[in-house]
Structure 1
Amino acid sequence: MTTKRHLLTVLLFIAIFAGCVLPGESMASLYSDQSSSGISPLNDYTAVGTILVLSFTMVLFITFFYSGRLKTSQNLLKKLCEEREAFSTEVAERLNNTFAVISSLVSMQILNSNEEETKQKLNEINNRIMAISLVHQNLLHSKGVSKVNVRDAFTGLGEQLVQTYFLAGDIDYNLKGDECYIGMAQAVPLGIVMNEIVSNSLKFAFVDRASGEICVEYKCEKGTFELCVSDDGVGIPKHLLHGRCESLGFNLIHDIVSMQLKGSADLQSESGTKWIIHFPAECGLDI
């Protein structure tokens, strides 16, 4: 309605101006014809002034018109962004609730199980569920709707795993890397990979030890995400390192990195264990 009022005002102004100025110009022309001294310069000034004022009026008309359309488009875009953010937040909350229910069911099954091996397998499943849940929780509390803060996700995941596997010991979980954000499509598989690597270190690297260190370093440069996870534990036997390992965790790491992240995973074992992972990623320092 505001734009229409502006248009009507401008058109009315043009009509009034034309009705006042152009008759004056005609009278000046008639007077000029009757004059014996020739055409008066007043006619030229009047014509030029009329053209300038009409041009200025048209500029105002166009400005008002497109300003109104631009403002309408901006309001619509803002509304769509707010609706999208609200929808994403609701989806994340529903997913977190679903993960919590599934995790509770698995935990109940662990309590009802009498076999240690079964409990261990169920704990591994539960940790994988919680790894995905933590990524969604991070998304829920972030400023954006489609990217995850890598540092926050790795911090929460590491602290949870240390509490789960090493309650009686002293494990230093050191995280090195600048704050950066990664897309949700890659954050979930990356969280699962991190869960498998850190879980394996906590379960097998510090046998008969009350302390140890796990170091996680990451960086994202020139469209490539690099992750290095190492520990100072006992390492991996050579026949497992260079041979075919049937461990579900190892196979899961390689399959996720190669198939979902389209990257590479290299396992080293000299003084402890080290995983080096590279994959292309659209990540940055901001959302």
Structure 2
Amino acid sequence: MLTDITERTRAEEQLKESERRVRAKLESILTPAGDIGHLDLKDIIDVPAIQPLMENYYQLTGIPLGLVDLQGNVLVGVGWQDICTKFHRAHPDTRRRCLESDTILSQQVPPGTFKLYKCRNNLWEMATPLVVGGKHVGNLFMGQFFFADEMADYDFFCSQAREFGFDAEAYLAAVSKIPRLDQKTVDTAMSFFAKLAHMISLLSLSNIKLARAVAEQERLVESLRLSEEKSRAGEEFLSGIFNSIMDGLSILDLDRNIIRVNPTIRNLFPASEILGRKCYEVYHQRDSVCPNCPAEHTFKTGEASQGVNEVAIGSEELRFIEIFSYPLFNRNTGRLESIIEYVRDVTERKQAEKELARSHWELQKNAQELARSRNMLQLILESIPVRVFWKDKDLRYLGCNELFARDAGFKHPEEILGKDDFAMGWREQADLYREDDRQVMESGLPKMNIMEPQTTPGGDRIWRKTSKVPLSGPDGEVFGVLGIYEDITDLKKAEDKLRTSLEEKEVMLKEIHHRVKNNMQMISTLFDLQLKYGRNQDPSAVFRDCQNRIRSMALVHESLYHTDTLASLNFRQYLEKLLNRLLASFSSKVPSIKTQVSGPAVILGINQAVPAGLVASEIIVNCLKHAFPGEQPGEIHIRLAENDGRRIIEIKDNGIGLDREFSPEQINSFGWLMITNLMKQLNGTITVTSNDGTTCRMVF
């Protein structure tokens, strides 16, 4: 059951505050050095005695009077006018003006003088201070009035009635009742009030002093009685304390004689006469003062001292005794009379301190060893070429090595502590990673060699191989997960590239089988045509021509096999090799024939390279046979170009050229027939011109 005690607590606090104020006022009255400032005016004057005196004065003179404290409270008042009681002090705004007159405008008036002023409500008032014990405690006021020869400012009072909402007729009627005094009456009244205030101040101070004197006398008598009782009780009390203290106490005089001990000391030295003997004789079995004795320091300096000595008590082993010595001074002379020694057996404490020091040393040693182990572990983590991390059960990072921190977009491992995967650069894969973490922790089994993607802080996508194991304590409870991974992006790319290459090579192998079949068919066709058109030719020449054609086809495949894709080749490089091999077959003319191949590296696929190579081979062989009779020197220049997706190959020699009546349509030879058929296969054209030699231009 709950009970609201707020009001009771507030009432108790108010009661305590009231008791504090009353106590302060009583001390101000009864204490010889009490501060008068703690007393209010109502605490000093006899209000019931002064009230009838002022009423008689008002009946005699008709002058309003008032005793007001520094807070503006009217303690005694007579003759107050309706304009004050019914209007000015009844309205909050005009009341503030009255309080200002009672407190602020009456300040800084010297004792025995008075101040004449108009209040802010436009009425004359006089004030003289009440000073008791040098403290300003209130004021004696006279007012409100007009001077007899003064015209009242009715415009001001009419304006004030409107401003504060007074009944104008009643307010002005109250103004008309305000007393009018001549200057002489005012001067006489002011002189009287100053003397009256001074008399009240003196009487009040005298009453306080008398009360204090009586209280002081009573206090002295009571103090003497209590002092005697306390002296007897104090001796008994101190003796009881002295004898009940469990540690040893002894009192030594200035000659180091033991003059008093408590039962603990007697029990420690039961067989010894203690009182009247030197402390070093009884306690340490010495004939002179002990070195480093705390008591000796106190005897010499008069200051408290402390120390620990080893003491042999009876037949027991040495014990550690802590000694405190305190000076005892004569209360009247202030001189050192004796000292009190307080002794305590601290052997167990010393042993505990020694054990604590040893434990502390071992703890420091273990901490250093742990720090070295941690540093070694961190060094290992930073040295291995893999990323290492560990998380708590909430999947927040507890630590990592520097490689992992850099992958996550941080400079130092400490920056990652407390974060989760959603705060990393790979937030897109956060759910995937966290699901693996949960499976490892829930199952208690590792997951090894997980191939998974990762988005870097820069937005790139890489691949990593991850392994995760559960982290568990001595009790087997899993509290987190430890993971390592390595960046296998390059390996992944290499595998993909190798896979693509293998796939391409499988296709190429099939294509090669197909090409070999086609080439063998082409070779067979060439032999058939050669037999048809070359029945009357030299067999060795026919055989060499066939050999050159087959070599040109083989060179295409050889060039293809040195490429990465096996699908296309650099036809310029092919022509350079073809030209060199054909020159080698006509070795007798090699020294006198110069060759040049120029132009860009035109790339041709296999379906274009074989027929184009056969055409080029046929033209070059024809040049070597017929353009340079005998050992006539000459040049063969091959130029390659590309224009609007068409390939251009020009084979030019500076030999004897062709007859003027030469026309390609008139040629009826196997070589030209092969050339025209191959150019049709290339969907191209070939032109032959003779000007300073022969030029064959292939366009396809």
TM-score for the superposition, normalised by structure 2: 0.28
1:78 paired with 2:497, answer: yes
User: Are residues 196 and 55 of structure 1, via their aligned partners in 2, closer, same or farther at CA, if it must alter by over 3 Å?
Assistant: same
Query: More strand by proportion, 1 or 2?
Result: 2
User: Are residues 203 and 63 of structure 1, via their aligned partners in 2, closer, same or farther at CA, if it must alter by over 3 Å?
Assistant: farther
Contact 2:594-2:635 at 8 Å conserved across structures: yes
SS in 1 for 2:647: strand
Deviations 1:241-264 (A, max 9, x none): 2532112211222221222x1111
Q: Which of 207, 211, 215 is equivalent to 2:637?
A: 215
Name the structure 2 match of 1:9.
none
Contact 1:230-1:272 at 8 Å conserved across structures: yes
Number of positions where the alignment pairs a residue of Structure 1 with one of Structure 2: 220
Residue type at the aligned position of 1:83: L
Contact 1:268-1:275 at 8 Å conserved across structures: yes
Contact 1:217-1:227 at 8 Å conserved across structures: yes
User: Are residues 89 and 159 of structure 1, via their aligned partners in 2, closer, same or farther at CA, if it must alter by over 3 Å?
Assistant: farther
Larger RCO: 1 or 2 (CA < 8 Å, sep 6+): 1
In structure 2, C-alpha distance between the alignment counterparts of 1:269 and 1:181, rounded to whole Å? 29
In structure 1, C-alpha distance between the alignment counterparts of 2:695 and 2:589, rounded to whole Å? 24
Structure 2 unaligned regions, length at least 5: 1-390, 396-419, 434-451, 455-462, 465-487, 528-535
Deviation at 1:187, TM superposition (A): 1.3
| Percentage identity across paired residues of the two chains | 23
Moved more, 73-82 or 174-183: 73-82
Name the structure 2 match of 1:202.
624
Contact 1:175-1:217 at 8 Å conserved across structures: yes
Deviation at 1:129, TM superposition (A): 0.3
Q: Which of 170, 179, 200 is equivalent to 2:601?
A: 179
Residue type at the aligned position of 1:230: K
Name the structure 2 match of 1:154.
575
Q: Which of 653, 657, 662 is equivalent to 1:231?
A: 653
1:117 paired with 2:538, answer: yes
Name the structure 1 match of 2:430.
61
Contact 2:568-2:603 at 8 Å conserved across structures: yes
Moved more, 116-125 or 53-62: 53-62
Contact 1:92-1:140 at 8 Å conserved across structures: no
In structure 2, C-alpha distance between the alignment counterparts of 1:239 and 1:120, rounded to whole Å? 27
Q: Aligned Cα RMSD in Å?
A: 3.9
SS in 1 for 2:579: helix
In structure 2, C-alpha distance between the alignment counterparts of 1:145 and 1:211, rounded to whole Å? 38
Deviation at 1:116, TM superposition (A): 6.6
Residue type at the aligned position of 1:210: Q
In structure 2, C-alpha distance between the alignment counterparts of 1:227 and 1:61, rounded to whole Å? 60
Which of the two has higher C-alpha Rg? 2
Structure 1 unaligned regions, length at least 5: 1-11, 18-52, 107-114, 280-287
Residue type at the aligned position of 2:554: S
Deviation at 1:167, TM superposition (A): 1.6
Deviation at 1:80, TM superposition (A): 2.2
User: Are residues 54 and 215 of structure 1, via their aligned partners in 2, closer, same or farther at CA, if it must alter by over 3 Å?
Assistant: closer
What does 1:246-261 correspond to in 2, within 5 Å?
246-259=668-681, 261=682
In structure 2, C-alpha distance between the alignment counterparts of 1:196 and 1:62, rounded to whole Å? 68
TM-score for the superposition, normalised by structure 1: 0.62
Query: More helix by proportion, 1 or 2?
Result: 1
SS in 1 for 2:636: strand
Deviation at 1:60, TM superposition (A): 3.1
In structure 2, C-alpha distance between the alignment counterparts of 1:155 and 1:173, rounded to whole Å? 9
User: Are residues 173 and 90 of structure 1, via their aligned partners in 2, closer, same or farther at CA, if it must alter by over 3 Å?
Assistant: farther
User: Are residues 264 and 205 of structure 1, via their aligned partners in 2, closer, same or farther at CA, if it must alter by over 3 Å?
Assistant: same
